[in-house]
Amino acid sequence: MKNIVLFASGSGSNVENIVRYFQDKNNSVIISVVLTNKSDAKVLDRCNNLNINGLYFNRNAFYATDCVRDILKNINPDLIILAGFLWKMPEKIIKDFPSKIINIHPALLPKYGGKGMYGNNVHKAIKANNEQETGITIHYVNENYDEGAIIFQAKTQINSSDSVEDIANKVHELEFEHFPKTIEKLLFEV
Ligand code: GAR
């Protein structure tokens, strides 16, 4: 039995997809808790509906004290997964869990990464630059935004008629398909 912790800041459609994926696999993976930095994030409603623990924390609990860090240390998860989480991970936590924190980014890193590049901001920039392809990157988390070692990437084509929303949908499709499988591989294929 493996256990994981998820972090999310918004809608949490990736969180829901990951939870359902492992529920369908006889719960070989326990989702110990979903942590969010937004008290009104939709991901908390999803946690309620899915019957899993959702917990809100504020800036103080994350950066000024060891509150979130201690929660993680107590759980001692096999993997910490950032699924649409927008705050920078404190260095202390990165040091506590070497090679155990992963993030999903909605573009083909190293392009369209860095501070401010998240969610629709990424898709808008890709549309503005008339890119012909985009994709997803799953990578380890280090001290710099979107710069950790890449674990997995997948691409999708963009048509000139695609809106920002169309691009976002194409990227979400890739995320739903590949994120749970990549997590499973990391957990079970040593
Ligand atoms: C996802 O597309 C994820 O790749 C992105 O936020 C979205 C969250 O969607 N993450 C980032 O932009 C991180 N820089 P969701 O809340 O519906 O899962």
Query: What residue spans define the domains of the chain?
Result: 2-188
What integer pLDDT is reported at residue 190 of this predicted model? 64
**What distance in angstroms lies between residue 163's CA and the mean position of ligand 1's atoms?**
18
Q: What are phi and psi of 79, to 5 degrees?
A: -155, 140
Residue 16 alpha carbon, nearest atom of ligand 1: 18
Unique residue bearing structure tokens 């997948």: 154
Residue 171 alpha carbon, nearest atom of ligand 1: 2
Is pTM beyond 0.85 here?
yes
Q: Which residues does a 6 A CB cutoff place in the pocket of ligand 1?
A: 8, 10-14, 83-84, 104-106, 118-119, 171-172, 175
**What distance in angstroms lies between residue 103's CA and the mean position of ligand 1's atoms?**
9
The pLDDT averaged over each successive group of 10 residues in the chain (190 residues) is: 96 98 88 98 98 98 98 98 97 96 98 93 97 98 92 97 98 98 93
The number of beta carbons lying within 10 Å of the beta carbon of residue 88 is 14
CATH number given to 2-188: 3.40.50.170
Q: Are 107 and 115 in contact (CB under 8 A)?
A: no
Tokens linked to 158: 């963009």
**What distance in angstroms lies between residue 158's CA and the mean position of ligand 1's atoms?**
19
Residue 103 alpha carbon, nearest atom of ligand 1: 13
Give the residue numbers marked as catalytic: 105
From CA 105, how far away is CA 2, in angstroms rounded? 24
What integer pLDDT is reported at residue 144 of this predicted model? 87
